[in-house]
Amino acid sequence: MAILQWDQELSHGISRIPDFRIRITDGTFSELVEVTSNRERSVVYTEHAGASWVLNQVGSDAIPPGDETMRLKDVWGRIPALHDAYAMTFQETPPSIPVVLIAHTGRGASVICLPTTQGLPQEAFLRASLQLHDEVNLRPEDHHYLIGDVPNVYFYLPHNPLDRENDPFDHASELPPVKNDARGISFLVAPFMHGLRLSTLSLLYLTAYSHGMLVRYNPSAWSKLVGRVTGDRVLPLVRAATSVIEAAVPALVLEQIES
């Protein structure tokens, strides 16, 4: 991987750290993607009361080197554990939306989008970020029997029946990427441009790489960030990301090895 024009960004101050652009090249990250296929496992509810399924999604299993760039900010925003810190830092809705997702055997999924500190996601935002088809009906509601009197946006996503009747979402390719945070809350996560779908492990790898590049090759900018000078608004988010990497990566790596 490579960070593009970061000296140019830092010339405007450390407030531009979120605008670092990451380019994927041949190397360790491409090998990680190839080996893991960006597989993500998450737990969702089913139509049977109290029951849940392990949702098994396969993301992008190859990334053409040099064709895809992304901002560090956009990587942070797709990590559910950073949702609240992201919203507080940038005062905007992250590209990961907390939901209640109910899997219906052989039929599809009901999705209840929950309000965040930024309010209820707007229809235009949901359609664009989650790449929903026009025929998907988004329905704002003030009540749902599962969550009570909580404003929400409800929609239904049908899917093709699978051979295994008892596994309604084997790969769940019809769904947007689904991820859990440490509390078990489900999030629908926006794919990147061109439909690129990265697992939580891949996103944390990109985050660790970017933070490490900053510390190693521009220690003066890092010192300004941790020294709380002007423009250090991203420091709580960077600290939160570091904690998530330390806590989550070992378990995610073990999960990939065991699978």
Q: Rounded CA gap, 132 and 78, in Å?
A: 17
| Residue 13 CA: distances (Å) to CA of 40, 160, 236 | 36, 50, 17
**Res 171: pLDDT:** 38
**Res 166: pLDDT:** 45
Under-50 pLDDT residues of the chain: 161-171
**Res 231: pLDDT:** 61
How many C-alpha atoms does 144 have within 13 Å on its Cβ side?
20
**Res 162: pLDDT:** 43
pTM reported for the whole predicted model: 0.89
* Residues near 225 by beta carbon (within 8 Å), at least 6 away in sequence: 14, 17, 214, 232, 234, 235, 238
**Res 170: pLDDT:** 45
**Res 66: pLDDT:** 60
Joined together, the tokens standing for residue 72 give 């560090």
- Domain residue limits, the chain: 2-258
Q: Rounded CA gap, 44 and 101, in Å?
A: 6
Pick from 172, 193, 196, 242: which is nearest to 33 by CA?
196
**Res 245: pLDDT:** 97
